[in-house]
Amino acid sequence: MSKEFDPDFGLTAEDYGRHRAGFPPEVVRRLAGLGVEAGGRDILDLGTGTGSLARLFARAGARVTGIDPAAPLLDQARALDAAAGVEIAYRVATAEATGLPDASFDVVAAGQCWHWFDAPRAAAEVRRLLRPGGHVVITHFDWLPLPGNMVAATEDLILRFNPAWSMGGGTGLYPRWLTDLASAGFRAIETFSFDLDVPYTPEAWTGRIRASAGVGASLPPEEVTAFSAELTALLHDRFPGDVLHVPHRAWSAVAVAPAPDAPR
């Protein structure tokens, strides 16, 4: 990402913890179908944020470590873990330099965050951390802007407040990450995707968007307040209702770690 757009998700940790939809459990079930079992495995969740993906793995019986550079997000993650009755080890670190031991994980995952990383350095760190035959998982869970829908209208409003935001108009598919993995020597790359609607109240959707990179993580507080007021009015006028069904797409790429003596 450019220096002109450098969000700090720690600024929006409370909204992030309360309003961002977690990864659907179906992701973990489908990963298991590709041989990425969670039960009894050591799993590292890069860029864990508030621990949404990490908790899914923990509930499935994994021993999970989560890292993130934003300490306020990890504070939210610990509170959410306590409410969910799971235990996850967290540490402040980056994906490119985790400080964790070589060959210490069966799975290294990155949920909704690979685009923030220096991909060659992060991929090299993942190779170092994985045991032979271990898996890397890159996964996303994205809202879908479609012509005339509330997501498209929301993205238009984000751009009006923050023209530097460049993450709109997505399809929820990330072919470039496949090149990142292949270039780093990972093999047996596979992908899957599926769509579903996520219910939000108008208040929760406004909170969800405040927790996004283009709003709460990058705008001054007074502009975040003004944005929230305008989005609330937009939803009331154009998309009325007590529950908004927001289209989302889950997408994952899975690959196997190369042999320890393979070229780096």
- Residue 142 has which token pair? 């994205």
Residues of the chain under the 70 pLDDT cut: 1-21, 261-264
pLDDT given for residue 216 in this prediction: 84
pLDDT per residue as tens digits for the range 142-169 = 999 999 999 999 999 999 999 999 999 9
pLDDT given for residue 156 in this prediction: 98
- Residue 78 has which token pair? 């610990």
pLDDT given for residue 5 in this prediction: 52
CA distances to 20, 111, 117, 166, 231 from 219, rounded to whole Å, are 18, 24, 21, 14, 15
Query: Rounded CA gap, 159 and 138, in Å?
Result: 27
| 189 three-class SS | strand
- Residue 105 has which token pair? 């994980």
Query: Rounded CA gap, 16 and 217, in Å?
Result: 10
User: How big is the CA angle at 96 (ends 89 and 82), to the nearest 5 degrees?
Assistant: 20
pLDDT given for residue 1 in this prediction: 35
- Residue 139 has which token pair? 């996964």
pLDDT given for residue 217 in this prediction: 80
Alpha helices in the chain (DSSP H): 13-19, 26-33, 52-59, 71-84, 119-129, 150-161, 175-183, 202-210, 221-238
pLDDT given for residue 21 in this prediction: 54
Do 189 and 178 touch, CB atoms closer than 8 A? yes
pTM confidence score:
0.89
The torsion region of residue 177 among left (phi > 0), alpha (psi -120 to 50) and beta comes to: alpha
Cα–Cα nearest to 249, from 205, 207, 192, 210: 192
Query: Rounded CA gap, 223 and 208, in Å?
Result: 16
Cα–Cα nearest to 17, from 208, 198, 194, 158: 208
pLDDT given for residue 204 in this prediction: 93
pLDDT given for residue 243 in this prediction: 96
Q: Give 249's contacts (C-beta < 8 A, 6+ positions apart).
A: 140, 141, 142, 144, 171, 172, 173, 193, 194, 195
pLDDT given for residue 263 in this prediction: 64
